Structure 1
Amino acid sequence: MTTAVISSDDGALTWIRLNRPERLNAMNRQLVDELAEALARAEANEATRVIILHGEGRAFCSGDDLKDLDAQTASDGATQAWVDAIQDITLRIMQSSKIVIAAVHGWCVGGALEWAVNCDFRLFAENARWFFPEVSYGLFVTGGVTALLTKQVGPQIAKELMILGERHDAAKAVEVGIAWKLFPEAALLDEARKLALVIAERPASAVSDIKHAINEGFHSSLADAMALETRATVRGFLSAEAQARAKQF
């Protein structure tokens, strides 16, 4: 079986690459489990100061792999386990003692976009395209974004992005604050590495403390938001309408 996530250490940096290019790195259980393992290894590695998350091929990640919808909704328990696994990635990113950089190119959709929002810095390539499709399917968002994004962009823009589900370009990501900076695709990973090396030079404990203080202070309702999201997402996955709409996508 092909490895869905590839992790490599580069001095103080750990690169984590989503590696299902034939499916635009869409999220299946293998990818999510391997991503959790890669984040856990990076967290345990004392040499790692910064994690860079990126995608192989033409996209960062195209979101949930709808070809796996039947397996994800095979039972109430299977659906709960799937949503819990997705939410676990958010906690691993946001509670990590390391700074996590998302280097986003191509499509960044749904759950993958939510993971990007969870990262400490988000660098977008100029060819990045992104949207939240969940409500269009009758599903729900994850990643704590009902709290995180609302506080970042305001409730009206958050509702626009999540309810309308329109597709946006990289410039819109900077405009609303989802992206930190834009770069040509060819320069994206080099720019991510430059930023990571600057961060890695800072005292580790101070950087970690700042990250956690900002996250806890700014996103004080994260746990409640994620609990609500989990319940709503499970209901969405198990609804007949959502399954029918997703299979037509």
Structure 2
Amino acid sequence: MAGTIITRTEGAIAWIKLNRPERLNAMNGDLVDDLSEALAMVESDPVVRVIILHGEGRAFCSGDDLKDLDSQTLSEAATQAWVESIQQVTSQIMDSRKIVIAAVHGWCVGGALEWVINCDFRLFADDARWFFPEVGYGLFVTGGVTALLTKQVGPQITKELLILGERHDAKKALEVGIAWKLVPPPALLDEAEKLALAIAERPQVAVADVKRAINRGFHSNLHDAMALETEATVRGFLTPEAQARAKDF
């Protein structure tokens, strides 16, 4: 797939690249739709275990392409469809049976930053810069971050990030837990690949079940979390791969 999204697979790894470098990979209808299509295609590939999401050029993504949106006549129905298309990508990332790694460099803004927060691991280059501009525009955030960030960093920091909308560096992303790890810009994709290969070595069913249980357990009570854990543990015990690995150990 080419155009606004470039997808390539290498064994267990699928690389999905945002590809509007002339607009710092800003989000327009084509990019969002193409990303959703790429995620669906990769999800259906049984060989792929890990997805690496990254950006072409000088940035990961500069958020909504306001110039592009301004050129459209946005009815309520069109606006509803636009927001739902963005939220669809969030669902695809978080509900995926694959592990999704975000490799972030340059600017990462707004809706794209929210997608990054949806990912399972977030590698930030030292030069990354990020912020949430939406509230400053009188708009609102997407990606479930009102719930995700509140539980990850607490309500006060979430309000700071969303309401004040200040621009932050990579160190701040690590400090508040948005970034998992900081790496030098030239090493970003190599580090993402190294992490992907390490994950791909783990038993596929167990990794997918851990992701599912953690993501769902994040928003459930203790008993719901225990029920998910029981279901996944039983399934894991019964897989031949798990039994073989246990015997080897």
Match of 2:207 in 1: 207
Where do residues 152-191 of structure 1 align in structure 2 (5 Å cutoff)? 152-191=152-191
Flag structure 2 segments of 5+ consecutive residues without an equivalent.
222-249
2:84, 2:71 → 1: CA distance?
15
2:83, 2:73 → 1: CA distance?
10
Q: What percent of counterpart residues are identical?
A: 75
Q: Please say if residues 136 and 165 of structure 1, whose CA atoms lie closer than 8 Å, have aligned partners that are also in contact.
A: yes
Aligned-residue CA RMSD (Å): 1.2
Match of 1:29 in 2: 29
Output the amino acid matched with 1:219.
H
Q: Please say if residues 28 and 69 of structure 2, whose CA atoms lie closer than 8 Å, have aligned partners that are also in contact.
A: no
Q: Please say if residues 72 and 78 of structure 1, whose CA atoms lie closer than 8 Å, have aligned partners that are also in contact.
A: no
TM-score (norm: length of structure 1)? 0.87
Match of 2:49 in 1: 49
Q: Which has the higher contact order (CA 8 A, sep 6+)?
A: 1
Q: Deviations over 1:207-233 (max 9, x none)?
A: 000001000011349xxxxxxxxxxxx
Match of 2:60 in 1: 60
1:40, 1:46 → 2: CA distance?
12
Q: Please say if residues 43 and 96 of structure 2, whose CA atoms lie closer than 8 Å, have aligned partners that are also in contact.
A: yes
SS in 1 for 2:87: helix
Output the amino acid matched with 1:155.
P
Q: CA deviation at 1:154?
A: 0.3
Which of structures 1 and 2 has the bigger CA Rg? Answer: 2
Match of 1:96 in 2: 96
Match of 1:11 in 2: 11
Q: Please say if residues 36 and 89 of structure 1, whose CA atoms lie closer than 8 Å, have aligned partners that are also in contact.
A: yes
Q: Please say if residues 73 and 79 of structure 1, whose CA atoms lie closer than 8 Å, have aligned partners that are also in contact.
A: no
Output the amino acid matched with 1:213.
A
Flag structure 1 segments of 5+ consecutive residues without an equivalent.
222-249
Output the amino acid matched with 2:188.
L
2:155, 2:180 → 1: CA distance?
20
Q: CA deviation at 1:71?
A: 5.3
> Are the structure 2 counterparts of residues 167 and 73 from structure 1 closer, same or farther at C-alpha, using a change threshold of 3 Å?
farther
Match of 1:128 in 2: 128
Matched length: 220
Q: CA deviation at 1:68?
A: 1.9
SS in 1 for 2:108: strand
2:168, 2:73 → 1: CA distance?
29
1:49, 1:195 → 2: CA distance?
12
Q: Deviations over 1:82-105 (max 9, x none)?
A: 000000000000000000000000
1:134, 1:185 → 2: CA distance?
27
Match of 1:235 in 2: none
